[in-house]
Amino acid sequence: MRVQILKEYVKEHFPATPVLDYALAVEKITTSKKPNLILNVDGLIGAAVVDLLRCSGCFTAEEAQEYIEIGALNGLFVLGRTIGFIGHYLDQKRLKQGLYRHPWDDISYILPEAMMEEA
């Protein structure tokens, strides 16, 4: 549902969508091979932001490429995950549930002895 809403918004309001169009063409091929190989919300946002960088007229081609190469898109994904994490935290507090703590044995990492000697 989110993908469809975002896709419609981008197609209606963005000046051009060559990267999104390409991603949608790839999706047609991948879903013909396996139905769950869809363009997800992260992929759609990435394609849309690249289209904005390249086609909005606000950036030169060099500036747009620089933003892509330095990993500026990663910040968008981190931001989305952070907002989701905060939402889960607030829901747990509001519902008076204990905060989830993953078992320590599943997340602790013991360095190999050779690496510990170097440190």
* CA nearest to 77, candidates 41, 30, 27, 36: 41
Please check whether residue 99 is in contact with residue 89, taking contact to mean a CB–CB distance below 8 angstroms: yes
- Distant-in-sequence, close-in-space partners of 59: CB < 8 Å, separation ≥ 6: 53, 67
Confidence of residue 116 (pLDDT cuts 50, 70, 90): low
pLDDT tens-digit readout, 80-109: 889 989 999 999 999 998 877 888 878 777
Cβ atoms of residues 10 and 50 within 8 Å: no
Name the band, by pLDDT with cuts 50, 70 and 90, for residue 114. low
- Threshold 0.85, pTM exceeds: no
Render pLDDT for 23-56 as a digit per residue (tens, 0 to 9): 999 999 999 999 999 999 999 999 999 999 999 9
In one-letter notation, the amino acid at residue 79 is L
Instruction: Answer positive or negative: Cα dihedral of 98, 99, 100, 106.
Output: negative
